[in-house]
């Protein structure tokens, strides 16, 4: 086994990490040194820029056929806290963003038992009819896999229908932890790791870029995180279709794994830095401010993140229901510029495809 010192030297010289070396580095390197290495790597890719966009989320329902143990969002039919928007309600919500300058809508929700792919194509078309220039980044791989199979189609046929309707990118959710034994414990009935990869690989082949996530800080061990990142690095070597990686910290309020607690901020920063270093072929590492809270996000910028997501405008409930600080998450453009400047970087507005705006 190589010494941590030697691994640090080879990473600084630009070498690719093996799984074994990554684990040693993750366990043993001082936090400040991980930050230094990760920021050096970030600077090679995005210089002094930190990206954000003007976006909102659309969460059409919190009914879900799956019952993931970490989820605080799902409700069962008949619950006073359940919602299931009609198409008219979806349109009403989207109309609020006419002339707002938003460039992206992120659509994600529960996996609805009855809606098929034609329903979701109709939803995308209605969104685009109201906001024609806004990019639709829609549905986790698990939602996609379910709606496509539910309609008797192959992954490719299903994705082609959604792309024709106006879907431009796929968000990173549903990845959780790829290791099948851990996945079996935290979300036993959810779509599998193989399904997640099938959807993303097929989308990349069809020219659609996607994000990838990892839910960490619950029952998994460090080697499961390394394995997760290695599987993503392999996919990226094969397709080049991943735009951004987003580590998602397990938040423990209001779900059946609450007793586990939450990992420390230092653990968050180590995870961000190690993600930047292992995923040497993924252009962007996103510190999702809604999940970390604004203060940790600010620190994340000194640990290799080059994206903070967007303005959000109080349109998502997934994290406020799981215990995030901001119960009505929103961040103005001025606030984002000030946050990024405090860390010594430059905030740059981007679109969904990372083209710079303005």
Q: 220-258: b or e for each residue (b if 16 or more CB lie within 10 Å)?
A: bebebbbbbbbbbbebbeebebbbbbbbbbbbbeebebb
Tell me if 215 contacts ligand V47 by CB under 6 A: yes
Least distance (Å) between residue 173 CB and ligand V47: 3
Query: Of 89, 90, 281, 248, which Cα lies nearest the Cα of 177?
Result: 248
> Residue 84: how many CB atoms within 10 A of its CB?
16
When computed from its CA atoms, the radius of gyration of the chain, rounded to whole angstroms, is 19
Cβ-closest position to ligand V47: 173
Tell me if 318 contacts ligand V47 by CB under 6 A: yes
For the segment 72-91, give every residue that binds ligand V47 (CB under 6 A): 72
- C-beta closer to ligand V47: residue 36 or 329: 329
Tell me if 35 contacts ligand V47 by CB under 6 A: no
Least distance (Å) between residue 91 CB and ligand V47: 23
For the segment 269-288, give every residue that binds ligand V47 (CB under 6 A): 288
**Could you tell me which stretch among 25-33, 70-78, 94-102, 121-129 binds ligand V47 (CB under 6 A)?**
70-78
Total chain residues near ligand V47 (CB under 6 A): 22
Least distance (Å) between residue 45 CB and ligand V47: 18
Tell me if 176 contacts ligand V47 by CB under 6 A: yes
Cα distance between residue 191 and residue 195, in whole Å: 6
Q: Which of 158, 173, 191, 304 binds ligand V47 (CB under 6 A)?
A: 173
Residue 104, Cα to own-chain centre: how many angstroms? 14
CB-based contacts of 247, cutoff 8 Å, min separation 6: 213, 214, 216, 268, 271, 272, 275, 285
Contact 196, 174 (CB under 8 A): yes
**Tokens 């989320």 found at:** 57
Tell me if 231 contacts ligand V47 by CB under 6 A: no
Of the CA atoms within 13 Å of residue 249, those in its CB half-sphere come to 28
- C-beta closer to ligand V47: residue 166 or 217: 217
Tell me if 216 contacts ligand V47 by CB under 6 A: no
**Could you tell me which stretch among 78-86, 114-122, 167-175, 265-273 binds ligand V47 (CB under 6 A)?**
167-175
Cα distance between residue 171 and residue 139, in whole Å: 7
Q: Which of 174, 241, 247, 304 binds ligand V47 (CB under 6 A)?
A: 174
**Could you tell me which stretch among 25-33, 143-151, 173-181, 276-284 binds ligand V47 (CB under 6 A)?**
173-181
Contact 309, 293 (CB under 8 A): no
Tell me if 199 contacts ligand V47 by CB under 6 A: no
Binding site for ligand V47 (CB under 6 A): 70-72, 108, 140, 171-174, 176, 211, 213, 215, 246, 248, 250-251, 255, 288, 309, 318, 322
């Amino acid at each position: 086994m190589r010494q941590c010192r030697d691994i640090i030297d080879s990473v600084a010289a630009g070498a690719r990490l093996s799984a074994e070396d990554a684990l040693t580095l993750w366990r043993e390197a001082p936090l400040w040194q991980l930050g230094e290495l990760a920021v050096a790597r970030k600077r090679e890719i995005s210089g002094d820029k930190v990206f954000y966009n003007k976006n909102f989320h659309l969460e059409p329902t919190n009914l879900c056929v799956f019952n993931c143990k970490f989820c605080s969002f799902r409700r069962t039919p008949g619950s006073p806290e359940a919602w299931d928007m009609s198409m008219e309600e979806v349109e009403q919500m989207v109309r609020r963003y006419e002339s707002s300058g938003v460039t992206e809508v992120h659509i994600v929700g529960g996996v609805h038992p009855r809606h098929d792919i034609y329903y979701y194509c109709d939803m995308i078309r209605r969104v685009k009819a109201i906001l024609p220039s806004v990019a639709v980044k829609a549905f986790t791989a698990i939602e996609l896999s379910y709606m496509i199979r539910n309609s008797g189609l192959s992954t490719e046929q299903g994705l082609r229908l959604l792309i024709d309707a106006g879907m431009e990118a796929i968000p990173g959710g549903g990845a959780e932890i790829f290791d099948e034994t851990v996945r079996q414990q935290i979300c036993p009935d959810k779509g599998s790791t193989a399904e997640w990869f099938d959807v993303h690989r097929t989308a990349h082949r069809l020219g659609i870029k996607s994000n990838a996530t990892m839910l960490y800080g619950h029952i998994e061990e460090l080697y499961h995180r390394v394995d997760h990142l290695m599987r993503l690095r392999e996919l990226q070597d094969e397709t080049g279709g991943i735009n951004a990686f987003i580590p998602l910290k397990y938040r423990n309020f209001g779900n059946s794994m609450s007793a586990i607690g939450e990992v420390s901020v230092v653990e968050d920063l180590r995870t961000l830095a190690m993600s930047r270093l292992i995923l040497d072929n993924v252009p962007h590492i996103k510190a999702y401010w809604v999940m970390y809270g604004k203060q940790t996000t600010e620190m994340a910028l000194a640990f290799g993140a080059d994206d903070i997501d967007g303005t959000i405008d109080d349109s998502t409930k997934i994290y406020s229901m799981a215990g995030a600080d901001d119960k009505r998450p929103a961040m103005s453009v001025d606030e984002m510029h000030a946050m990024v400047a405090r860390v010594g970087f430059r905030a740059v507005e981007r679109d969904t495809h990372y083209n710079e705006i303005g």
